[in-house]
Amino acid sequence: MNVIALPSVVPFAAAIRYLGLEGSHSYSSRSASILLRLVNEYDLAMYLVGSEIFGVLEWVVQEECYEDFDTGNIQQLEPIEPDKFFSHELYVRLTDGLIKTNESGNSDLDISHFEVEACRFYTTNAGGTIGASSYSFDACYFSLDDLTKLKEKFTEPPQEKLSVGKGGLSIQNQRERAFKFWLGSKATNKLITGGKVDFQKCYELAGSLTQDLVWKKLQQIDAKLFSQGKDDFFKHQNLVNFKMGTGSSRS
């Protein structure tokens, strides 16, 4: 058997193959979504390489901006002069990301926060207006050591454990991963303590949606995984406590 040695810095597509999420040189948006879940749930570091990014330090944002308590969005009265970063090394760590489909039908990654040498930044445009910045998946890289450590956390073959639809994870666990991913996308900095997200508060920030509405949101992430079994999923999940009347009977 031929053994292919990966470089110490692994591109996004190669990381998907290395973790067994997809076998071909191309990859689907579904595989990309699974990899992002692993970034969120297993603290897998993902870096921006070869592309510039602008940002404002978190403490500056806290001093000069305010949070809209209805939406959780950061509001600023005027632009703040940002710092610009560009590196060919694993230097700019992307700490969150959401997949967005652009007008041409291609998927990009929207980044709202990043870290440089343990300092947390809010992403901005070149003019200093806070907001998510879009990047192609090809601009995202991983450390081979980090990927290897992640694989070692699984006692069964990693490609079986990490693949949605395989036998390593139960359907309930797969769905809960997606639910965590959706809840985490609602998190503001105040809802993250010690690297852990307060999922209950994320749910409340999202508007305390009914179970039916939450299920529809999850179907947008993975239509096949959430095609049926809604009642069983909500019965067995313990990530959030739904308010009384948040089932299908609530108007």
Q: Give the other-Cβ count within 10 Å of 237's Cβ.
A: 14
Across the beta sheet with 133-135, the strand order is 98-101, 107-111, 133-135
Q: What is the pLDDT of residue 196?
A: 67
Which pTM does this prediction carry?
0.56
Q: What is the mean pLDDT of residues 234-248?
A: 75
**Maximum CA pair distance of the chain?**
61
Q: Residue 81 pLDDT more than 70?
A: yes
Tokens of 181: 């991913």
Helix (H) or strand (E) holding 147: helix 144-152
Q: What is the pLDDT of residue 180?
A: 82
Whether the Cβ atoms of residue 6 and residue 145 lie closer than 8 Å to each other: no
Token pair for 180: 């965590």
Say if CB 94 and CB 123 are below 8 A apart: no
Those residues with Cβ within 8 angstroms of residue 201's Cβ, 6 or more apart along the chain or in another chain: 191
State pLDDT tens for residues 99-124.
887 677 778 888 988 999 889 999 99
Q: What is the pLDDT of residue 3?
A: 41
Residue 65 has which token pair? 């901006």
At residue 159, the pLDDT reads: 39
What's the rounded Cα separation, in Å, for the pair 5 and 248? 52
| Tokens 């060919």 found at | 88
Q: Which residue has the tokens 């071909």?
A: 24
Q: How confident is the model at residue 84 (pLDDT cuts 50, 70, 90)?
A: very high
Match 């292919």 to its residue by tokens. Answer: 4
Tell me if 114 sits within 8 A of 48, measured CB to CB.
Answer: yes
The 10s digit of each residue's pLDDT in 173-202 is 888 888 887 777 665 555 555 556 778 888
16: helix, coil or strand? helix
| Confidence at residue 47, expressed as pLDDT on a 0 to 100 scale | 94
Q: Classify 7 as helix, strand or coil.
A: coil
Predicted confidence (pLDDT) per residue in 128-161, tens digit:
999 889 998 999 999 999 988 887 765 343 333 3
User: Nearest-CA neighbor of 84 among 140, 138, 124, 132?
Assistant: 124
Residues counted in the chain: 251
